[in-house]
Amino acid sequence: MSIVDSDKVARVMRQASQEFILPRYKALQDHEIDTKSSPTDLVTLADIEAEAYLEKVLPDILPGSIVIGEEGVSRGHHDMKSLSMNSGQDVWVVDPVDGTHNFVHGRKEFGVMVALVSNGVCVAGWIYDVLQDSMAHAFLGEGAFIDNSAHLTPKVTKSFDEMIVHLSPKFFPADIKAEMKVKSAKLPNVYTVGCSAHEYMNVAKGRSDSIVYCRLMPWDHLAGSLIVQEAGGVVSKWDSIPYRPQDLYDGLIIARSKDGWQKVYDKFFADMDMDSYMQARRDKLRRQGKI
C-alpha cells in the first residue's frame, strides 16, 4: 500500500509550477538570477520560491516528515544526515527546478523532481515535465506510472551505435574527465540534455536507452532512478553495486535493460579496473572527509 496519496503530491508540484516557475519562464529579470558554486551553477528566484512552497506543503501530506531541498542544502539550511539508513525519518527530497541552466536560457528541458525517502530507503518518486504537463511517478514495488497510466519501458535489443545515451563529462573526476570527453566526442549518439528530469523521463518512456552520471546529488537521481527501475529498467553504480540515497560520489549507469547497461559499461569503462578505481576514489574521498 502506498505511503502517501500520489495525486496530492502531483497537485502541489503543479501548483508550485503554476505559481512560481511558469510566470518566470522566458521572463526572468537579472536580479532574479544568481550563481552558486560556479558561474554556470545557477539559481533563480523560481528555484527558491518553489522550494519554499514545497517545503511548507509536503509535510502536510505526510505528518512528521521533513523536506531536504537542493537550495536549502546549498545555503546550509538542510542536513542530508536524515537520509541515513535507520534514521527513522520520512524525508522529502526536492529539486524545485531541475535544469536551471536550461530554464534561465529559455530552453524547454527543465522539470520538478520530488522523492520520498523513508528510513533511508527511497520509496516513492515524482518527475514533472512542466511545459508538457506530464507527470511520472513510482512507488517501490508498485510499478511506474506516466500520466497515471501504468508503464513499462519497452525492451529491444540494440547495438551500442543504435542506442541513445545521455552523458556529460562535466562532473567527472579530473583523472578520467579528459578520457570521457574523448570517448563521448567520437559518438554521435551520446549527448547531454542538461536536465536529469528529462533524461530519466526519456529512458522511462523508451525515447532514450541509457544515462551515465558521476555526481550523485540525491535530488537529481532518487526520483528518476526509482521510476526507471519500476518501469523495468536497470540502475546501478559503475561497479554494479545498487544505488542508495546515501551515495553521493559514486557514478551511475541507468539503462532500459541489463543488456543495454552492459553495452554502455563496455564502451566507457571496460578498459578500466573499475573495482580498484572505485575503491581508490572512495579512499581519497574518505581522507578528504567527504564520506
- In tens, the pLDDT along 21-65 reads 999 999 988 888 887 667 677 789 999 999 999 999 999 999 999
Q: Which three cell numbers stand for residue 54?
A: 514545497
Residue 103: inside a domain: yes
Task: Find the domain containing 166 and state its range.
Answer: 160-287
285 pLDDT band, cuts 50/70/90, is confident
Q: What single string gives the DSSP state of each residue in 10-43?
A: HHHHHHHIIIIIGGGTTT--GGGEEESSSTT-EE
Co-location of 142 and 165 in the same domain: no
Q: Last residue of some domain: 151, 168, 200? A: 151
Judge whether residue 166 has pLDDT over 90.
yes
- Residues 137, 274, single domain; the answer is no
If you count DSSP H runs as helices and E runs as strands, how many of each does the chain have, helices first? 9, 14
Over range 246-275, report the average pLDDT: 92
**Percent over 90 (pLDDT), the chain:** 71
Identity of the highest mean pLDDT range in 152-156, 163-167, 181-185: 163-167
Q: 151, 172, 207: which is the final residue of a domain?
A: 151
**Eight-class DSSP state of 211:** E
Average pLDDT, integer, range 74-91: 79
- Give the residue with greater pLDDT, 66 vs 157: 66
Q: Give dist(CA 155, CA 135) in Å, integer.
A: 22
pLDDT in tens, 210-246: 999 998 999 999 999 999 999 999 999 998 999 999 9
Of 151, 178, 196, which residue is a domain's last? 151
pLDDT at 263 over 80: yes
The count of other CB atoms within 10 Å of the CB of residue 202 is 20
Count of structural domains within the chain: 2
Q: Closest Cα to residue 70, out of 167, 211, 215? A: 215
Q: What is the pLDDT of residue 29?
A: 87
Q: Which helix (H) or strand (E) holds 71?
A: helix 70-74
Judge whether residue 261 has pLDDT over 70: yes
- Position 188 pLDDT exceeds 60: yes
Model confidence, pTM: 0.93
**Same domain flag for 11 and 131:** yes
Residue 1: is its pLDDT beyond 60?
A: no
Whether residues 40 and 102 fall in one domain: yes
**Do 137 and 224 meet the contact criterion of CB atoms below 8 Å apart?**
no
Do residues 72 and 147 share a domain?
Answer: yes
Map grid coordinates 553504480 to a residue. 237
Indicate whether 1 belongs to any domain: no
